[in-house]
Structure 1
Amino acid sequence: MSKIRITKQFSFEAGHALYGYDGKCRNVHGHSYKLNVTVIGKPIDDKDHVKYGMVIDFGDLKKIVKEEIVDKFDHATVFNKNTPHRELAAELEKRGHSVILVDYQPTSEQMVIDFAEKIIKRLPKNISLHSLKLQETETSFAEWYASDN
């Protein structure tokens, strides 16, 4: 049977700041992110299987991505924990804000790598992550492809 790619789209709102950056993005600001998750696999060919004909149930893929990414990052502010932003993060958390501290500069490029690692760990063995597209604005996005890595 042929391998098929399926894609599920997600969206979330998040803020970030790029410590040490020489442009406006050094300031805390936010984006309406769009995330396309594409997986690849062979559709289930067991006619008695409840998910016959599916590569993966879209609901199962949604559960993975929501738990690993959307539910955590939506309406959170992301900072590199290896910068003085951790002090701002502590103050925001003290005031009840959702903050995520990461080991990287929270650019779209680095976030999409992080997301790929999180999703890969949760996919069933017969399904592979094919690609991710993280759109930061209408005209700017980062893409991750398994074939490149």
Structure 2
Amino acid sequence: MPWTLRTEFTFDSAHVIVGYDGPCGRLHGHTYKVRMELSTDRLRPSEHVKRSIMVADFKTLKWAKKDALQGGLDHTYLNDLAELGDDTTAEVLAAYLHRHTLQRVRADLPPGDDGADLKLRVTLWETADSSCEYWE
């Protein structure tokens, strides 16, 4: 695909991995680092520019860095997210970020464009040296 839009950001959240026999089974937090990579073979308009000159808006890819009260994940208790529940591993969270980011990107597309050509890769670092990638 000729275009790949990349952005990175961080957010702070807490969680417990329920049933984990060790320190991760207790309440703890992380400064998560996220890389979003959205690829496509054509450019599109966005909410802020009506000409077809963007892969997507960077703001759309960075939704999760917003405060929890603004619909993001910053300063959330991840176990309170009904979709995650007790499953708050890096693997599950990376898939959650992927799903919700694609939903937001596709919601901004013009009528009749299903965004089937859009490919998203999410990399989530839980610590400086431990990460998980998710893509379809």
Q: TM-score, normalised by structure 2?
A: 0.73
Is 1:121 the counterpart of 2:106? The answer is: no
Secondary structure of the structure 2 residue equivalent to 1:144: strand
Mark the runs of 5 or more structure 2 residues left unpaired by the alignment. Answer: 45-49, 67-71
CA contact (8 A) 1:12 1:34 kept: yes
Deviation at 1:42, TM superposition (A): 2.8
CA contact (8 A) 1:5 1:130 kept: no
Q: Give the partner amino acid of 1:76.
A: T
Residue-by-residue CA offset, 1:112-143 (whole Å, 9 max, x unaligned)? 11111111222233461320000110000110
Q: What is the percent sequence identity of the aligned residues?
A: 24
Secondary structure of the structure 2 residue equivalent to 1:111: helix
Equivalent residue number for residue 87 of structure 1: none
Aligned residue pairs: how many?
118
Equivalent residue number for residue 15 of structure 1: 14
CA contact (8 A) 2:40 2:119 kept: no
Is 1:74 the counterpart of 2:74? The answer is: yes
CA contact (8 A) 1:7 1:38 kept: yes
Larger radius of gyration: 1
* Structure holding more helix per residue: 1
Mark the runs of 5 or more structure 1 residues left unpaired by the alignment. Answer: 80-98
Q: TM-score, normalised by structure 1?
A: 0.68
Q: Counterparts of 2:60 and 2:128 in 1: how far apart (Å)?
A: 26
